[in-house]
Amino acid sequence: MESSDNFAASGTAEGRYRLLVESISDYAIYMLDPDGRVVNWNLGAERFKGYTADEIIGQNFAKFYSEEERASGAPARNLAKAATEGRFEEEGWRYRKDGSRFWASIVIDRIVDPEGKLVGFAKITRDLTERRAREEALRRSEEQFRLLVKGVTDYALYMLDPEGNVISWNAGAERIKGYAEAEIIGQNFSVFYMEGERENGEPQRNLEIARSRGSVEREGMRVRKDGTTFFAHVVIDALYDDAGELVGFAKLTRDITQQRKTQQELEGAREALFQAQKMEAIGQLTGGIAHDFNNLLMAILGSLEIAQRRMNADPRISPFLDNAVKGAQRGAALTQRMLAFARRQELAMGPVDVLDTVRGMNDILERALGPSIFVTTNFPLSLPPVRTDKAQLESALLNLAVNARDAMPAGGPIAIAAQRRAAPQGGIQRSGDYVVLSVADIGEGMDEETLARATEPFFTTKGVGKGTGLGLSMVHGLAEQSGGTFLLKSEKGHGTTAELWLPLAPGTSEAAGNSTSAAVSGTTVPKRVLVVDDDFLVLLNTVTMLEDLGHQVIEASSGEEALAVLEREPVDLLVTDYAMPRMSGGELAMMARARNPTLKVLVATGYAEMPDEHRGRFERLGKPFSENDLGSAIERALQS
């Protein structure tokens, strides 16, 4: 054939070229005649295709295609394109002699003679099977990662371009932010920030930090599509290509609103527990101090009273004794406030009409508050009685009103109100209805730190000598001991509202008073009285008072000593202190009663509570007491 003759023509240079081409093994390089028949074959073609030169030369290259491609005319079509356009290039599957296939890169170049006549084609084939496998594995990995990111719903994972515009979006971002992918792609991520943050440049500032440091982490409020907000944890990472050029940012956002709420509630519970433990510790310390102080006041008041009775009136001395008595009485009132805070004062519990109590204090409040204060009241037509101590309630109301007055130096209104309410969330363990007595002012108010410490004993914002710091502590103690709670609401510059939550009385038929206020109804027949107290000062005064009342007195300084006296001498009445070392007054009374069931017992104590086994078994006398108080208590004990 003419074409064969043309290819057969050779020279030295052509021979070297043929030798070079036939020696290449990484590429299949061979020529086709104008009809697509193979006219030469190199080592690379033999390695890729599996045919030797003798087996393939003269056959049509179409046999390297699949049966479907041959049927569709793909080989002839590819040659026609190379003939008309000068070149045909593609990648696709090609088949070897043994029927296996490989992924090939194919280039077919047109060959023409000097006159421009087509004389054949140069065909170069490269086996890219391994490269394609790597690319396919990478593509699958990227697709799997893309699907993974797209499918994550708990995190918003998306990318930003270097200017902060959104270029990808996952399901978590749609769920958290509210935007569909089509709505947000191309928009700047600053749309997720609060308006104030956008105005002060916070979004771009975060990108700059991520660009300079590689990453930035933030927590704060973010905005959804519908305008609602959520608390978010955000991480922005800068992304760089292999050349070190910034290509964008990876942004991760998580909605931690619920976690933050839970953490705040946990911290609040811890703070409440710490506050409760602190107040309990202070209460125990305060109660113990008050009890010991009561004993000292008992000795002072008792001695002063005895001295006043036994000396003749002397204008040079009597005023100072009176002054000392008043000072000691003020100290006794202070210990009662301390015991009230510690919930250890003796209360005369009973049903109390709150409305009548407030109305009955109108004159007292008017005198105490002064002309620059005007009081307004807001009460329903009727309220059920509450269970508390009426005298202590009056004192608490007066304390709250005076505090409100002091918060308004220039004067102003104080609003006193009462209403029935259900138990609030927290603060009161017992459910049910309460009467809430509130006192509100429009004064200076308290900051958070002051409000948190307001009910602590001895804490006061008043000047030196203008307050004991026990007023609110006493109110708090009264509320707690009554089975309710005391709430303070205040804001600096916006006044204060104090709420005293008191439980409803179980019945209204009980008398609101208490027998402890009863006076001596008449003279008492002299008795043999055993007095027991481990404090010598108190013991001396009590013995003297009893002797002045006409009784025959035997004294003892401990429970063991008292039992020894009871073994050898007849006694009509046992008067004992409660808090004594080794054997308490309650234990002494129980042992004495076991030996003599008819023995009358009077227990003197500054505490409000006794153990269950002693409660209600004996007549009680609160410390400090006067001779008249002692006489009244003895009469009640003897009549019980």
Q: What is the torsion angle, in degrees rounded to the nearest 10, for the CA atoms of residue 379, residue 380, residue 384 and residue 388?
A: -10
Query: How far, in Å, CA of 465 to CA of 110, rounded?
Result: 113
Bridge partners for 165 per DSSP:
188
pLDDT confidence tier of residue 7, bands split at 50, 70 and 90: very low
User: Are the beta carbons of 476 and 338 closer than 8 angstroms?
Assistant: no
Task: Name the residue with higher pLDDT: 461 or 51.
Answer: 51
Helix (H) or strand (E) holding 600: strand 600-605
Bridge partners for 88 per DSSP:
108
pLDDT at 513: 36
pLDDT at 512: 36
pLDDT at 46 exceeding the cut of 80? yes
pLDDT at 511 exceeding the cut of 80? no
pLDDT at 461: 54
Greatest mean pLDDT among 196-200, 368-372, 539-543: 196-200
Least confidently predicted of 17-26, 173-182, 623-632: 17-26
pLDDT at 627: 85
Tell me the Cα Rg of the chain.
Answer: 51
Closest CA to 626 of 224, 183, 297: 297
pLDDT at 399 exceeding the cut of 90? no
pLDDT at 1 exceeding the cut of 50? no
User: Are the beta carbons of 113 and 100 closer than 8 angstroms?
Assistant: no
Report pLDDT digits (tens) over 442-479: 988 888 877 776 666 555 555 444 444 456 777 887 78
Task: Name the residue with higher pLDDT: 530 or 132.
Answer: 530
pLDDT at 6: 45
What phi and psi values does residue 619 have, to the nearest 5 degrees? -70, 140
Name 121's Cβ contacts closer than 8 Å, sequence gap at least 6: 31, 32, 34, 36, 79, 82, 83, 108, 109, 110, 111
User: Are the beta carbons of 558 and 580 closer than 8 angstroms?
Assistant: yes
Least confidently predicted of 58-62, 482-486, 568-572: 482-486
Residue 100: strand, helix, or coil:
coil
Task: Name the residue with higher pLDDT: 613 or 581.
Answer: 581
The fraction of the chain above a pLDDT of 90, given in percent, is 31
pLDDT confidence tier of residue 138, bands split at 50, 70 and 90: confident
- Amino acid identity of residue 544, one-letter, is T
pLDDT at 636: 86
Tokens encoding 191: 């749309």
Positive or negative: CA dihedral 44, 47, 49, 50: positive
Bridge partners for 435 per DSSP:
420, 502
| Mean pLDDT for the stretch of residues 605-624 | 69
- Amino acid identity of residue 413, one-letter, is P
pLDDT at 256 exceeding the cut of 60? yes
- Rounded to 10°, the helix 390-406/362-369 angle is 30
pLDDT at 4: 45
pLDDT confidence tier of residue 221, bands split at 50, 70 and 90: very high
Tokens encoding 539: 């013991």
Report pLDDT digits (tens) over 406-451: 888 888 899 999 999 887 665 555 667 899 999 999 988 888 877 7
Query: How far, in Å, CA of 42 to CA of 55, rounded?
Result: 13
pLDDT at 332 exceeding the cut of 80? no
| Mean pLDDT for the stretch of residues 108-125 | 91
Report pLDDT digits (tens) over 334-359: 666 555 555 555 566 788 899 888 88
| Mean pLDDT for the stretch of residues 174-193 | 92
pLDDT at 25: 60
pLDDT at 201 exceeding the cut of 80? yes
CA atoms within 13 A on the CB side of 280: 6
Report pLDDT digits (tens) over 380-398: 888 899 988 887 888 888 8
pLDDT at 48 exceeding the cut of 60? yes
pLDDT at 521: 43
pLDDT at 264: 84
| Mean pLDDT for the stretch of residues 257-280 | 77
| Mean pLDDT for the stretch of residues 487-502 | 89
pLDDT confidence tier of residue 518, bands split at 50, 70 and 90: very low
pLDDT confidence tier of residue 170, bands split at 50, 70 and 90: confident
Query: How far, in Å, CA of 545 to CA of 309, rounded?
Result: 11
pLDDT at 424: 65
Closest CA to 352 of 485, 486, 474, 482: 482
| Mean pLDDT for the stretch of residues 120-135 | 88
